[in-house]
């Protein structure tokens, strides 16, 4: 029989063992918890090294879309660059692009506007550069629902028809002579857009409309060029006060020139809207309003117009002129270039036009939805030569994980659509121009941003607001030019397919080609 002393000793040893086990168990739990809590965040994306202070800036090549696509071959679907004080992340895969524009759309819904963009748009008051928030939602809603509604676009059809017919008549007068396609398309589009914006305000003064359209056309070329010009102040914000390259000063001069055009027109629009508001004789259905009058009427209403003032109206009008002209004119030139380079595809397009429109008829907008092959040609051109190869940069409002990497708050994020659109893992023989890849698909690839392999107009809440107008104008101008004329290069000239980087990536050499009559009757050109 064990003594009481042994029993006591045994009990104490059991208690000590239990205490020791409890301490070890608690220590293990605390160690695992601490390790979990101190787990490192995912790293930044990989990328090339640069120099102190300036980062990778000295190594950038002029054609950034080509350069970044080459870097993607080395560093993969997402990489980073330090450009001065700016951290830049470039996304080169559709799956990571989807994370940015859909999964984390709210986080990446802001822009990182250049100084030139802020100055040129009255402090970033337009749809393109203004930050995500109440103001941006209000003006975008006004733009999409009020200005570019289906009813408004139908009401503006005559403007589009008249300007396209003028362009055809102008080309007819130059049969056998070289025609600059980019200038022709730009002139046509800006005439359409300015008539839609303030055509009713200026009334039947056609000469005045054309004069203002010409002034705007000259200004917009410089304006867009200034937005795309590298500015050291954007990479080193502490240098902005010195405006070393004079970009801020130049943009202020251009904005003042825009004011000189817009302010008299807005003043006249205010007068007309004021007179209409005092008159009760006109029925609502009989009124014909341009975009300016719609905006001015909304401005007077407490609900829809709470975000609209004169500066906001001017910024919105600039958005329409810039967004509606430069991209469309550039893509007209690219499509015509590609078709001249692939004459067998040109023949297919013209055959479709003969079948749908008829050689004894002219193209009308009612024909456009039936031109499926031309639509595929345009999409294939957007794939190979996207007008905005990086879209518009996004900027996260908080540090976020994307593609297993950390994207810090305030990073400038580029979606490299040029690389995605040419990725051989996504597209069969991607360097071959093959419109058929957009025909007879089980899932339609369109401009709505749902297929992240093909995002020429972006995706998510910051998708281009003017797609409906841009698509309509682009197809209408192209179909009219291709149906009315045969085209060839001037004798001894070679076709140039090189491009030059900018906010909108244009042809390096302007397309100048010679028309020949194609329709059966001369009066069809009038």
pLDDT class for 423, splitting at 50, 70, 90?
A: very high
Instruction: Specify the pLDDT at position 353.
Output: 98
pLDDT at residue 9 is higher than 50: no
21 is a domain residue: no
Question: What's the pLDDT tens digit per position in 171-204?
Answer: 999 999 999 999 999 999 999 998 899 888 887 6
Q: Tell me which of 1-10, 27-36, 47-56, 97-106 is least confident.
A: 1-10
* Phi, psi angle pair for 157, to nearest 5°: -55, -40
Instruction: Specify the pLDDT at position 306.
Output: 63
Percent of the chain with pLDDT over 70: 89
Instruction: Specify the pLDDT at position 6.
Output: 46
Q: Tell me which of 5-9, 63-67, 256-260, 446-450 is least confident.
A: 5-9
Q: Which domain holds residue 311?
A: 57-525
Half-sphere exposure of 344 (CA within 13 A, CB side): 4
32 is a domain residue: no
Please state the domain count of the chain. 1
Most confident range, picked from 226-235, 263-272, 397-406? 397-406
Helix (H, G, I), strand (E, B) or coil at 395: strand
CA-wise closest residue to 488 among 460, 455, 451, 515: 515
pLDDT class for 32, splitting at 50, 70, 90?
A: low
CA-wise closest residue to 105 among 306, 394, 304: 394
Instruction: Specify the pLDDT at position 14.
Output: 58
29 is a domain residue: no
Instruction: Specify the pLDDT at position 491.
Output: 93
Instruction: Specify the pLDDT at position 40.
Output: 73
105 is a domain residue: yes
12 is a domain residue: no
Instruction: Specify the pLDDT at position 26.
Output: 61
Q: Is the dihedral of CA 160, 163, 166, 167 positive or negative?
A: negative
Q: How far apart are CA 109 and CA 405, in angstroms?
A: 19
326 is a domain residue: yes
Instruction: Specify the pLDDT at position 168.
Output: 97
Question: What's the pLDDT tens digit per position in 101-114?
Answer: 999 999 999 999 99
In angstroms, the Cα distances linking 1 to 4, 11, 13, 447 are 9, 16, 19, 92
209 is a domain residue: yes
Instruction: Specify the pLDDT at position 71.
Output: 98
Partners of residue 378 on adjacent β-strands: none
Alpha carbon 91 to its chain centroid, in Å, reads: 16
pLDDT class for 74, splitting at 50, 70, 90?
A: very high
* CATH code for position 491: 1.10.630.10
Q: Per the structure block, which two tokens stand in for 293?
A: 């009058």
Q: Per the structure block, which two tokens stand in for 33?
A: 């918890």
Question: What's the pLDDT tens digit per position in 451-488?
Answer: 999 999 999 999 999 998 999 999 999 999 999 999 99
25 is a domain residue: no
CA-wise closest residue to 72 among 427, 419, 505: 419
Q: How far apart are CA 377 and CA 254, in angstroms?
A: 36
| Section 238-252 average pLDDT | 95
Q: How far apart are CA 388 and CA 462, in angstroms?
A: 14
Instruction: Specify the pLDDT at position 29.
Output: 56
């Amino acid at each position: 029989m064990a003594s009481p002393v042994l029993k006591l000793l045994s009990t104490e040893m059991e208690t000590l063992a239990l205490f020791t086990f409890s301490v070890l168990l608690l220590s293990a739990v605390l160690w695992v918890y601490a390790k979990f809590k101190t787990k490192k965040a995912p790293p930044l994306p990989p990328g090339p090294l640069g120099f102190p202070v300036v980062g990778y800036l000295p190594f950038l090549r002029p054609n950034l879309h080509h350069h970044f696509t080459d870097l993607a071959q080395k560093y993969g679907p997402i990489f980073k660059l330090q450009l001065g004080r700016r951290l830049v992340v470039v996304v080169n895969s559709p799956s990571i692009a989807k994370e940015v524009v859909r999964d984390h759309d709210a986080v990446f819904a802001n822009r990182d506007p250049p100084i030139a963009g802020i100055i040129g748009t009255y402090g970033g008051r337009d749809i393109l550069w203004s930050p995500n928030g109440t103001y941006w939602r209000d003006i975008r809603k006004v733009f999409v629902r009020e200005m570019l509604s289906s009813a408004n676009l139908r009401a503006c059809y005559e403007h589009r028809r008249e300007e396209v017919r003028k362009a055809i008549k102008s080309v007819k007068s130059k049969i056998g002579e070289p025609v600059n396609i980019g200038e022709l398309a730009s002139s046509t589009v800006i005439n359409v857009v300015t008539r839609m914006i303030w055509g009713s305000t200026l009334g039947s003064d056609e000469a005045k409309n054309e004069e203002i359209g010409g002034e705007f056309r000259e200004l917009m070329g410089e304006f867009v060029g200034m937005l795309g010009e590298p500015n050291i102040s954007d990479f080193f914000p502490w240098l902005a006060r010195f405006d070393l390259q004079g970009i801020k000063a130049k943009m202020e001069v251009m904005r003042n020139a825009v004011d000189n055009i817009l302010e008299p027109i807005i003043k006249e629009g205010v007068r007309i809207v004021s007179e209409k508001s005092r008159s009760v004789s006109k029925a609502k259905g009989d009124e014909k309003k341009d975009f300016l009058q719609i905006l001015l009427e909304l401005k007077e209403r407490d609900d829809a117009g709470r975000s609209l003032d004169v500066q906001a109206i001017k910024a919105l009008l600039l958005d329409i002129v810039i967004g509606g002209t430069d991209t469309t004119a550039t893509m007209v030139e690219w499509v015509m270039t590609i078709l001249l380079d692939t004459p067998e595809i040109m023949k297919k397009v013209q055959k479709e036009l003969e079948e749908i429109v008829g050689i004894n008829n002219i193209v009308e907008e009612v024909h456009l939805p039936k031109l499926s092959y031309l639509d595929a040609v345009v999409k294939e051109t957007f794939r190979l030569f996207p007008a905005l190869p990086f879209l518009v940069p996004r900027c996260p409002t908080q540090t976020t994980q994307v593609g297993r990497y950390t994207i810090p708050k305030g990073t400038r994020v580029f979606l490299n659509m040029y690389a995605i659109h040419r990725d051989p893992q996504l597209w069969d023989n991607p360097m071959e121009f093959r419109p058929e890849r957009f025909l007879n698909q089980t899932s339609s690839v369109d401009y709505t941003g749902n297929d992240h392999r093909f995002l020429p107009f972006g995706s998510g809440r910051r998708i281009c607001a003017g797609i409906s107008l841009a698509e309509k104008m682009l197809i209408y101008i192209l179909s009219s030019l291709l149906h009315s004329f045969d085209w060839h290069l001037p004798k001894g000239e070679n076709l140039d397919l090189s491009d030059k980087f900018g906010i909108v990536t244009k042809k390096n050499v302007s397309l100048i080609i010679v028309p020949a009559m194609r329709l059966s009757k001369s009066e069809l050109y009038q």
